[in-house]
A = this chain, B = another copy of it.
Amino acid sequence: MDRLIDAISETHNPSVVGIDPTPQLIPQAVTASMVEDAYGSMRQSGDYTDLVPQAMAMSYFLFGQAIIDAVAGIVPAVKPQIAMYEALGAIGVSAYNQTCRYAQEQGLYVIGDIKRADIGTSAAHYAHHLSGISATLPIPEAPAHTDPWHEDAVTVNPYLGADAVKPFLDAAEPHDKDVFCLVHTSNPSATQIQDLQLVNGQHVYEHVGMLVDQQNRNTTGLHGYGRLGAVVGATYPAQGRALRARMPHTFFLIPGYGAQGGTATDIAAMADEHGSGIIVNSSRAIIGAWKRRDHTTMRNPDEALAVVMACARDAAIDMRDNLRAALT
């Protein structure tokens, strides 16, 4: 987790911007222009099957690029949500790859919010998100290693146990990357399974926290935190405090701030004694900030994206300042 913690120190900002584009979050001028572009590019073939996914994928990429340009230098990291891109099929996944790559090129640490989990060989294949693809071919031009994903960390789901998490950790180690395992999520129905009480008095989320802590033990970095982090929702502050007390070497990725209801005070209680050990995600409050402004100046894609950027930048600075105030 050292690279992320260094990036947080450099920006004095423990926040990450979630890039979760939806059709409603893209200014109309951008979408309309991408529909026109896609239409033009398909005129020759006469095959318009992929018009909508292609136009939306391009819109998502341009939108993400604008957000990244707006927040680079202010925040240490971004967290693209693959679900939004995957909704569009392989074209969308390609836009996700390009978005992650662009963010890395701007010096941002990229947390791929993929929440993957599977057994044995399948988990090992998902872990290529972190390790990329290595192959030695008798072709001198073929690169020995390629990385289609451009992620510095990914999120994983614990329901299948350690088998499903270990391949990600194994892939993270040699590439100096990280993994965040869901422990207590921020959504209303999180309680249905995660808050069940066990015969030993613990709750499921605490037991999952202990499993994460065990797997994390031999990965501790220079700053005292291991490569396996935990996702702990801001919307369940009591659970977050309980987990912090039991997981001193586990870094927390905290969703649920802002739009979902978590406050800076809730979050401060999940930090360590130095106000460190956490990174707080905000998505809609940053990337949708433009929707609260006057839209009359958004007559074309460039003007629209300029408004998106200015609003995202202001919102990211506000969030940074709120977190700084709460954590000192």
Q: Which residues of B contact A162 (CB under 8 A)?
A: 189, 192
> In this complex, what residue of B is CB-closest to A182?
B159
CB-based contact A86/B125 at 8 Å = yes
> In this complex, what residue of B is CB-closest to A197?
B199
Interface residues on chain A, number (Cβ under 8 Å)? 77
Contact with B along A178-218 (1 / 0, CB 8 A): 00001001111111111011110000100110010000000
CB-based contact A125/B87 at 8 Å = yes
**Smallest beta-carbon distance A252→chain B, Å:** 17
> In this complex, what residue of B is CB-closest to A131?
B87
Does A115 count as interface, using CB distance less than 8 angstroms? yes
Does A236 count as interface, using CB distance less than 8 angstroms? no
Task: Choose, from A1-9, A116-124, A266-274, the stretch at the interface.
Answer: A116-124
> In this complex, what residue of B is CB-closest to A162?
B189
Does A102 count as interface, using CB distance less than 8 angstroms? no
Contact with B along A77-105 (1 / 0, CB 8 A): 00001011011111111101100000000
**Smallest beta-carbon distance A296→chain B, Å:** 23
With beta carbons under 8 angstroms apart, the residue of B93, B113, B141, B193 that contacts A161 is B193
A53 CA / B113 CA spacing, docked (Å): 22
6 A-B residue pairs with Cβ-Cβ distance under 8 Å, sorted by A, are A53-B133, A84-B125, A87-B126, A89-B133, A158-B193, A160-B190
